[in-house]
Structure 1
Amino acid sequence: MAALSGMRATRRGLVLAVGGTLAGAAAGRKAPWSEARAAGAARLAETGPKPLPEFGFLDAEGKPHTIADFSAKGLLINLWATWCPPCVAEMPALDRTQAALAGEGIQVLALSSDRGGRAQVEGFYRDRGIGHLGVWLDPRGAASRALGVRGLPTTILVDRQGQERARVEGDLEWDAPAMLATIRRLIGPAAVPPADPLQPA
């Protein structure tokens, strides 16, 4: 997991920290995030159900949103950035997860903390063939602060009642069959619409 020095860290400090991580990898040393990944340190921890705090974020057009806009949907809220190596590593799996679960009313809400906004995220998606995730922006870190995120990537599973059920600090293979089954279990089935009394059973 790429570490954050609190949300008060300067952008330069973050860039230097990431640069040091990449430099270490180039010098033949494993970066800390890759060591954790190789050791299987990222684990899904069931944390709920517990209510989510209120927070806002933006869509690609700059329109503000809250979690209330996704009522009755299951959510995987992924806090990420293009400069974060483990975030980049898991993005294709999150994209495949969105494709697999969209028909079940489950949405991957990937909130980018990149300062470059829409253009930066769209360019990243285009370059890596990400075609199922929407562009969602958290450039000032409001969602990360409200959710108590300690580093990127962090992913929070939210059930259809808007309750946090689990979280992961670090990257995972989200589209692995066992993980998809866990997501479905924690989020729960979609509500069945009431039967039309005028239609025969």
Structure 2
Amino acid sequence: MTDGNETQKTPRNSSTKIILSAALAGIVAGAVAVYVMERPSGNIVGQSNPSDQCALKADAAKKIDGAAVGAVAAMRGADTPQSMSALSFTAPDGKPARLSDFKGKTLLVNLWATWCVPCREEMPALDALETKKGGDDFKVVAINIDTGDDTKPKAFLSEIGVKSLELYRDPSMGVFNDLKRKNLAFGLPVTMLVDKEGCQIAAMNGPADWSSDDAARFVDAARGL
């Protein structure tokens, strides 16, 4: 990761503070033994057609890789884009949800936990991005992976004054483990750019200042894919 450019600050946050937290992300990841790499196992639920279609989007991944600069320079385009449509978790209303439910929207999918310090530092910036850019064609889907009930994540989001992010959850950590098997998740936070057809176009491990102008331009480029 680069040290980023000095960009606008967020409440209780800044690019410098977030990027310095990336080092701690590695420590946290090591503590929970999530650095073990596994051989990719194909599609998450064995679907072949969506993955085949996504594999044809290497040019889009290369384009978005070039748009990731400054505060979001750690976001890297996928060598082989793959389908994320089958990723499943719990919606804010407690009902089952999948990424395929958001078909037609470009998504920034972020996995986080209350015990992950860099995640906590990053959340206000993600909330600011959703406030600024969220709409019919773009959404930040922040998936909390705390085990147990939703008491802690709800309290944390209330404490920091989140205005726009919704609380998606996966207390089983199944989403993280699926991404780990795909060699996309090595620690927390982990963030993916998913296009309108559910294809993972880019990903990064570690925090970023998503409230920055660099992030806004990155999202604009992603929406145009």
Q: Same fold (TM over 0.5)?
A: yes
2:143 aligned partner:
111
**Are positions 1:75 and 2:107 aligned together?**
yes
* Cα contact 1:165–1:186 (8 A) shared by 2: no
Alpha-carbon distance between aligned partners in 1 of 2:112 and 2:202, rounded to the nearest angstrom: 17
Alpha-carbon distance between aligned partners in 2 of 1:160 and 1:48, rounded to the nearest angstrom: 18
Q: Determine which structure has more spread, i.e. the larger CA radius of gyration.
A: 1
Percent sequence identity over aligned pairs: 31
Aligned length: 158
Q: 2:195 aligns with which of 156, 159, 163?
A: 159
Partner secondary structure for residue 155 of structure 1: strand
Alpha-carbon distance between aligned partners in 1 of 2:197 and 2:128, rounded to the nearest angstrom: 24
Q: Which runs of 5+ in 2 are unaligned?
A: 1-24, 37-70
Alpha-carbon distance between aligned partners in 2 of 1:157 and 1:61, rounded to the nearest angstrom: 24
Q: 1:121 aligns with which of 126, 150, 153?
A: 153
2:116 aligned partner:
84
Partner secondary structure for residue 120 of structure 1: helix
Partner secondary structure for residue 50 of structure 1: strand
Using the TM superposition, give the Cα deviation of residue 105 of structure 1 relative to its aligned residue in structure 2, in angstroms.
2.1
* Cα contact 1:75–1:108 (8 A) shared by 2: yes
**Normalised TM-score (structure 2):** 0.64
**Are positions 1:47 and 2:78 aligned together?**
yes
1:180 aligned partner:
216
User: Once superposed, what is the RMSD of the aligned Cα atoms?
Assistant: 2.3
CA pair 93-100 structure 1, distance change in 2 beyond 3 A = same
Using the TM superposition, give the Cα deviation of residue 41 of structure 1 relative to its aligned residue in structure 2, in angstroms.
10
**Normalised TM-score (structure 1):** 0.72
* Cα contact 1:80–1:111 (8 A) shared by 2: yes
